[in-house]
Structure 1
Amino acid sequence: MLPLSDQQKSTLAHQVRTSLARGDWTTARSGLEQLFRSEPKRADLAFQLSRVAFEAGDRAACLSWMDKAVALAPANGKLTLAAAERFRQLGADEAALRAYDLAIASDRKALKPRADKAHYLQLLGRFEESDSQFRKLISQHPEEAELYRIFLATKKPGPGDPLLSAMERLWDSSRLTDPRRVHLAYALAKAMEETARTDRVFAFLRRANELQRRAAPFDSAAQEREFAGVLAAQDGLPTEPFGAPLAIRPVFVTGMPRSGTTLVERILAAHGDVTAGGEIGHAMRLAYQMFGVGEAMRPLAAEPEARLRRFAERYATLVTRDLGPKTPVITDKSILCHLIFGLLNRTLPGARIIVVLRDPRDIALSIYKNHFTTGSHRYANDLADIAVAIKRFRRNVAHWKSRLPGVIHEIRYEDLVTEPEAQSRALVAAAGLGWQDACLDFHSAGGAVKTLSVSQVRQPIYRGSAEAWRKYETELEPFIAAWGTDSWD
């Protein structure tokens, strides 16, 4: 190939920028490959090629180009940190950890790469390594309150742990900003509970949730309109699946946050034919991208079958990209899938739907006790709003049970922890799988756990969190009052 002139490079670069802006990944990839052949030592071009391959759904090319980018610029902290996050997203655990190490080596004083690596080790279940790194980071950065919260997600401090006094000193500091105070309040609430000072738990929780709510208020009426619009858009959609089976068969596991969906997913993922996808999120994002957002979603019964098929194919492409072609079945634990059960049932032949139910009082307590990214679950910061959100979820499930009879398998968390084998066998059968004894040994499985349940699912099934609400019945009164006379079952 003849060398490119400066003018040719400039023209190609402009074409690439234009193609990226309009999402034309094929053209962008072609232009970037020409530029890279001309300048094969440019890490930024390899990085862009990785990004384009990711957007196009090409997992192998994404990983290959990212490897090249890292090899070309191992001392570029910004690039290696971004690479670590991409490797992590695609489940390339060792590549992610190596990239984190490069990012750390590029700037020994930077907190983010070291904290991100410690957190990832935690998600991978490598608790001893993670604990050591978190303690070191906290000693070096005692005012970084988020470190305490993330660390304590999998750590139970003893009454004499110096971490407790460090947190309480920080709590009294006038220099503590509101965002940091949120993190510290959740951490202190957990520490108070685990050191038997339950009388102090809700004081910290109320402060944390008050600050979160102030930063991201919940508009219940807007959510009601959004949900109603999405359900209405699926009216008249045929209930028979159409089209040939796809390369992967999804099992959707949904429920309210903190209801036990991660436990259910891990039981299924211990099966040799299943890969855990976690909260993938692709189905809902694609539905909004292709058919309209919320109230603006178009009637799906009027959509051409070719477009519905495109939705299914794109979903399968993105899932295969993220998880790799490991097994014929994947789990998708995306929270909002309960809004589009009609679309999923229609477009994904062989898909199964599992709904996890739990005592609303335990759900409410667990939601209120746990930190969610600001703005992601806005109802979570007010006990009365949590009651509204759970009722709304239950109403949506009832809607789909009436329209898709026999399609939805419900499992109660309390039944699962009381009768684990019987319930697990029924669960595996509902997912369209044959029984494997490994499903009762799910806690021994490896792989990252990307939810707040990271420590619980590394343990065998236990009943410890059932009826936890009874310890805080008085504090939960706003939730109980908002729930009213509806049944808890």
Structure 2
Amino acid sequence: MTISDQTQLHFALGRAYDDVGELEASFRHYAVGGAKRKKEMPFKEQSNVRMFNVMKTVVNHDSMAQIEQGGCTSDLPVFILGMPRSGTSLIEQVLSSHPDIFGAGELKYMTSALENIDILGRRLKFGEVEAAFPHEQNASYKDRGEWYVAKLKEASLGEYKRVVDKMPGNFNFAGLIGKVLPNAKIIHSRRHPVETCLSCYRIHFAEGHQWSYNLSELGRYYKRYWELMSHWREQFPGLLHEIRYEDNVANLEPQARSLIDFLGLDWYDECLKFYETDRPVKTASAAQVRQPIYNTSTNRWRKYEHLLGPLLEEIGDIVNLYEAQLQDS
């Protein structure tokens, strides 16, 4: 049996034990499956730390203000970003139920568009990605934005006023997106930190997310995500339209209406019947978005709390902050 087959087996056993309430056995299998997955796809944590630090250091209000060139002014792009398993698929499904919006799924084009971008003489590299423009071309911000918009038009199947890219990892680039595509709409999907991390940990992702297979590494990654989103809020007020998964579950209609209003479109009642929208969903949330809103995925982490020590050690303070925000709303 190959390592890949062993990994799939352990995650399947983890889910099976999970389903019957044998949580200790379940987490033993998740841990073994995760360790085997890391052998296949090692997580280069120090490289990841450097990337987060570079974004916070280089992309800020002052640096963007010093860049005189403008971006692509198209209002076609809509970004739904945040952590995986934070409710991004639900938001996309709601939006895609609107006749003027096309949900294109998780696209990898933004990383390609931004690869080797020049920020005041510093060229950014994001790792093993296929660049849309060669390094020596030093493409303008406008060219990069127009290339991305052209890709969106290729991905959509018809004429739409908005096209949604729900690649969660685009949260890394929010400040740059605001410069390259100044009329794009950026939606940040938020969910309870432990619920988000727990959901990630229990999934054998088809690709990427190497940080999700060890509870400590997962916690540290989440902390970097949290700090970067705080940076974007501080440096670019008003850039993000933020929406919480818990609010969607508690009362979807006002959240859905605020989203459609944010996109500058007329309201359609079909957005509340998102589970009837016939469109392909290729993420781990495919089954959930085919159903009406359900609340079984909120506050379920407590039954796993005794197994989440390494995770809680890393993000305990963030959990307290998020829960305080929920109580205040």
TM-score range, shorter chain: 0.7 to 0.9
Matches of 2:34 and 2:2, distance apart in 1: 15
Contact 1:255–1:335 under 8 Å retained in 2: yes
- In structure 1, the partner of 2:107 is 280
Report percent identity of matched pairs: 31
Question: 1:245 corresponds to which letter in structure 2?
Answer: T
Q: Secondary structure at the match of 2:255?
A: helix
How many aligned positions are there? 304
Structure 1 residue 458 corresponds to structure 2 residue 290: yes
Specify the alignment match of 2:19 in structure 1: 194
Counterparts in 2 of 1:200 and 1:435: CA distance versus 1, 3 Å: same
* Residues 243 and 347, structure 1, Cα contact 8 Å, conserved in 2: yes
Q: Aligned residue for 1:299? A: none
List aligned pairs for 1:80-119, cutoff 5 A. none
- CA drift of 1:199 comes to 4.4
Contact kept? 1:254, 1:261, Cα under 8 Å: yes
Q: Does residue 228 of structure 1 match 2:53? A: yes
Instruction: Name the Cα RMSD after superposition.
Output: 2.3
| d(CA) in 1 for partners of 2:72, 2:289 | 35
- Amino acid in structure 2 at the alignment position of 1:342: G
* SS of match in other structure, 1:210: helix
SS of the residue corresponding to residue 435 of structure 1 reads coil
- RCO comparison, higher one (Cα < 8 Å, 6+): 2
2:196 equivalent in structure 1: 363
Shift of 1:196: 4.1
Name the larger-Rg structure: 1
The whole-number CA distance in structure 2 between the counterparts of 1:192 and 1:250 is: 42
Q: Secondary structure at the match of 2:243?
A: strand
Shift of 1:290: 4.7
The amino acid across from 1:386 in the alignment is: L
Q: Which moved more, 1:449-458 or 1:425-434?
A: 425-434
Candidates 264, 275, 278, aligned match of 1:446? 278
Normalised TM-score (structure 1): 0.58
- Report the Cα offset of residue 325 of structure 1: 3.6
Deviation per CA, 1:153-205, whole angstroms, max 9, x where unpaired? xxxxxxxxxxxxxxxxxxxxxxx332101111112222223344444321211
Aligned runs of 1:410-489 on 2, under 5 Å? 410-486=242-318, 487-489=320-322
Unmatched 5+ stretches in structure 2: 119-123, 128-136, 323-329
1:340 aligns with one of 160, 173, 183: 173
Alpha carbons 1:193, 1:201 under 8 Å: kept: yes
Partner Cα separation in structure 1 for residue 223 and residue 302 of structure 2? 20
Distance 2:169 2:125 in 1: 13
Query: Deviations 1:392-412 (Å, cap 9, x if unpaired)?
Result: 111111111112111211111
CA distance in 2, matches of 1:274, 1:179: 38
C-alpha separation in 1, matches of 2:238 and 2:278: 33
Aligned to 1:452, what secondary structure does the other structure show?
coil
Q: What letter corresponds to residue 317 of structure 1 in structure 2? A: A
Out of 197, 214, 217, the position equivalent to 2:39 is 214
CA displacement at 1:442 relative to structure 2: 0.5
Residue deviations 1:117-142 (CA, integer Å, cap 9, x gap): xxxxxxxxxxxxxxxxxxxxxxxxxx
TM-score, length of structure 2 as denominator length: 0.85
1:351 to 184, 195, 210: 184
Unaligned runs of 5+ in 1: 1-175, 296-303
Q: Given that residues 241 and 345 in structure 1 are in contact (C-alpha distance below 8 angstroms), is that contact kept between their aligned partners in structure 2?
A: no
Q: 2:240 maps to what in 1?
A: 408
